[in-house]
Structure 1
Amino acid sequence: MDRRHFLAAAAANTALAVTPSAFAAETLEGKATRVAGKGVQLEWNAKSARAAIYVSTDPAAPRRAMRQVKTGVTGGQIEIPAEIAPRPYYLLAADGRETRVAERLLPLQGGRNFRDLGGYRAAGGRQVRWGKIYRSGVMSGLTNGDLDYLSKLGVKVICDLRNPRERQDEPSPLLKANVPEVVAFDYDMNASMALLATARTREQAIDVFAMAYLQFLETLTPNYTDLFARLAAGEAPLAFNCSAGKDRTGMASALILSVLGVARETVVADYALTQVYTPPSLYKAQMAQAGRVSGGGLTAEQARAFAQMPPEVLDIIMGSDPAVMRKALAQVDDRFGGPVALAKARFGLTDARIASIRGAYLA
C-alpha cells in the first residue's frame, strides 16, 4: 500500500476535534483529511447548518480572494476533489462563523509524521495559522517529489533536533540544497536513553519518559532557544524535527503551542497524534525483523535492549501516550510556573517577543 494512502486512512480514523472543548456551540471547527485518490474529506461540527466552502493555495487568503467550491452543504461533511499540489487550504463558513482547515499530515511519499501545527484554537478563539510551523520525524526518506512539494510550501528553515550520530546515520537530503537552511546543535542523549531503560511497568515508563522530557529542556536548550529566536524573527515557514518526531519534537511543539496560548488538552492531543501516524507496532515490527528502528533514533544495541522490555513498557516508549505529556507539562508547571514562564526563563523569550510571535502565527 502507498504510504500516503495508509496515513490517510489513519488520519481519517482520528476524532474531528482534538479536545472536548474544541466544539463549543459558538465555535465552528473542522478538519481536512486526504483520501485515496485525488480528494480531501472535509468535516465540521455544525452539521445542521448550511455551510459554504472556499479554497485557495494561499493559507492566509481573505474569503473574497478564495474560490467558492460548494455552498448550502449540510450534514457536516463532504469530499472535495483536490490535487496533492499545490496544497489546498479551505475556509468553512456557516451561520456567520468561519474556520480554516487544511490537511494536518502532509501527503509526502517518504515523510515521517510531517505535519502542520496550524488550525488549533488559542485564547480568544484565534487559530494558529496554517502553513507556517511544521513538525516532523526524520527526513532522510524524502523523495525528490517530496522535496519539490516542500520547496513550493516556501519552507525557509529546518531546525534538526537530532544528535550528531543520528544526523550522520540518516542525513537530511535538504543539506544538499541552499534552501531551506538546516540548523543543528551537538549534544549527547545517553543519559536520557539510560533512564528509559530502567522502566519495568507501564506506570514506571510514563514516569521515566516524563523525566526524560524534562531532561530535554536542559540538553536541548540551545536548540529550543534558536527555534524560538527564529520564530520571533519571522523565519517562517519553518519546520523542526527529530528522528521519530514525537519526543524532542513533541516537547518543542508543546512549548510553541503553549506560548501561542493553545489549551493544555489540545497540546496533549497534538502530541498523541504521533501514535496514530506512526504507531508503536511499526517500531516493534522493525526491531523484530532487523534489530533496529529506522527513524527512531536508536542504535542497534539500544533497539535490541528495548526489544526485551515488557510490551506495555515498549508501547509507552515507542508511542506518544497522552499521560506522558500531561505528566511532563505538570512537572513544568511545578518547577517553572508553566511552559510560558519556562520559555521566558530559559529560551530567550520576553513579553514583547511572545506578543510578536502571537501576532505573527495567530489569525
Structure 2
Amino acid sequence: MELANQRLIDVTGGVNFRELGGYPTASGQTVKWHRVIRTASLAALTDADQAHLVNYGIRLDVDFRSNTEVAAAPDRIPAQITYRHLPVFKEDETDNSKSNEQIRDELGMTEQTGRDEMLKVYRHMVMDGQSQAAYQAFFAALLTTGETDEGLLFHCTAGKDRTGMGAALFLGALGVDQATIKQDYLMTNQLTKSQVQARLNEARQAGLNAEMLDSLRSLITVSGDYFDTGLATIRENYGDLQTYLNQALAVSDHDLADLKALYLDN
C-alpha cells in the first residue's frame, strides 16, 4: 500500500485519484510529476477538492464516460479547468454506473458471467472504432497540454477500465515497462477496497446469491487477466504497442518523440 499512498491525490469527494509521475522508463528517464492524473468520477468533488486540483496544476479534464453517465453525474470542476468529453463507449459497457438490480437482470449472472463480460469489454476497448477515436483524441490532448506545461486529468466512472487502458497506453507510449504499467493498473484494487466491499454488501442485502456476488466482484474490480487480454488483443491485431499507436490511434513516431520530450525528465 506504500506505493499507492505515495501516488494518492488528497481529495475528499472522490476515489482512486492518483499520479502517473515517477515511473521509470527503459531509457532511464522518469515520468514527470504533477502532469497527468488518473481518477474516478468527479461528480462529488468539494470546493476544496476543486481548488486543490487547480493548485496541483490541472488545467484539462478528459472524461471517458458515455453521454448517459455524464448526464447522470456531471463533473464538478472549477472555471480554471477546461472540460473535454471523449466517450470511449456509447454506453457504459463496464457496467460500473449500473445498479445491482440492473446488472443482475441484464446479465442473469452466473459465477463466470462478470469475468467473461469484462474480457469482452477489454477486447472491444482496444479494437472498437469509437474507442480508438477517443484514445486518439486523448493523445492529441496530451500533446497540446504538454506544450504548455499544464496538467491533465482523465477519468471514467470507476477510474479502472477505460481509465486503466488510457493509463496503460500513455505509460506504454513513454517507454514504461509492461510489468510496471500492470502494477499501476492493479493498484485500483488497493485503493477501492472499501468501496467494493460496500457495494458487495449492498448486493447481498438486495438478494444476490453467491454466484452473482462473485460475478459482480469481477465487474467492479480489475484483474491481471483483463489487462493481459487488452494487451494480447493489441499484439494479435497489430504486432506490438507502437504499431497500434501508429495505426489505430494515429500517434506518429514524431508524436511519440514529442510525448517523451514533454512528459519525461531529462
Alignment-mate amino acid for residue 118 of structure 1: G
Structure 1 residue 314 displacement after superposition:
2.2
SS in 1 for 2:119: helix
Task: Tell whether the 8 Å contact from 1:232 to 1:356 is kept in structure 2 after alignment.
Answer: yes
Which of the numbers 155, 163, 170 marks the counterpart of 1:241? 155
Q: Is the 1:284–1:307 Cα contact (8 Å) retained in structure 2?
A: no
Q: Which residue is 1:315 aligned to?
A: 217
Change (3 A) 1:214 1:199: farther
Alignment of 1:299-314 (within 5 A): 309-314=211-216
Query: Percentage identity across aligned positions?
Result: 26
Q: Are 2:80 and 1:170 aligned?
A: no
User: Which deviates more, 159-168 or 280-289?
Assistant: 280-289
Q: Which residue of 2 aligns with 1:19?
A: none
Give the equivalent residue in structure 1 for 2:200: 284
1:224 — aligned with what?
A: 135
Matches within 5 A, 1:68-217: 103-174=6-77, 177-185=78-86, 187-189=89-91, 197=107, 200-202=110-112, 205-217=114-126
Alpha-carbon separation, structure 1, partners of 2:64 and 2:90: 12
Which of the pair is proportionally richer in helix? 2
Query: CA contact under 8 A between 1:207 and 1:327: conserved in structure 2?
Result: no
The answer to whether the 8 A contact 1:162-1:242 is kept is yes
Q: For residue 246 of structure 2, give the secondary structure of its aligned residue in structure 1.
A: helix
Structure-2 change in CA distance of 1:212 and 1:141 (3 Å)? same
Map 1:19-98 to 2 at 5 A.
31=3, 33=5
2:181 to 267, 277, 291: 267
Superposition TM-score, scaled by structure 2 size? 0.84
TM superposition shift of 1:205 = 4.3
**Whole-Å Cα distance in 2 between the matches of residues 151 and 266 of structure 1?**
28
Q: Distance in 2 between matches of 1:277 and 1:312?
A: 19
**Distance across 2 between alignment mates of 1:114 and 1:286:** 24
Residue 190 of structure 1 deviates from its aligned partner by 6.1
Shift of 1:249: 0.4
Q: Match for 1:170: what amino acid?
A: A
CA distance in 1, matches of 2:10, 2:64: 22
> How far apart, CA to CA, are the structure 1 residues paired with 2:110 and 2:116?
11
C-alpha displacement at 1:222, in angstroms?
2.8
Q: Distance between the aligned counterparts of 1:245 and 1:239, measured in 2?
A: 11
Instruction: Quote the offset at 1:32 in angstroms.
Output: 8.1
CA–CA distance in structure 1, aligned partners of residues 178 and 209 of structure 2: 32
Q: Which secondary structure state, in structure 1, belongs to the residue aligned with residue 7 of structure 2?
A: coil
Pick one of 195, 209, 231 that aligns with 1:329: 231
Q: 1:225–1:347: 8 Å Cα contact kept in structure 2?
A: yes
Contact 2:200/2:213, CA 8 A, preserved across alignment: no
Distance 1:228 1:105 in 2: 23
Q: Could you tell me which amino acid in structure 2 is paired with residue 229 of structure 1?
A: A
CA distance in 2, matches of 1:135, 1:317: 19
Number of equivalences = 248
> 1:15-53: CA deviations, max 9, x gaps?
xxxxxxxxxxxxxxxx584xxxxxxxxxxxxxxxxxxxx
Q: Distance in 2 between matches of 1:355 and 1:264?
A: 19
Do the aligned partners of 2:59 and 2:80 also contact (CA within 8 Å) in 1? yes
- Extract unaligned runs of 5+ from structure 1: 1-10, 13-30, 34-102, 292-303
The structure-2 alpha-carbon separation of the partners of 1:316 and 1:132, relative to structure 1 and needing over 3 Å to count, comes to same
Aligned residues of 2:69 and 2:92 also touching (Cα < 8 A): no
- Aligned-partner SS, 2:38: strand
Task: Label 1:32 to 1:214 Cα distance change in 2 as closer, same or farther (>3 A).
Answer: closer
Q: Give the CA RMSD over aligned residues.
A: 2.5
Give the number of the structure whose residues are more often strand, by fraction.
1
5+ residue gaps, structure 2: 96-102
What SS does the aligned partner of 2:216 have?
A: helix
Which of the pair has more CA radius of gyration?
A: 1
Q: Which amino acid aligns with 1:330?
A: A
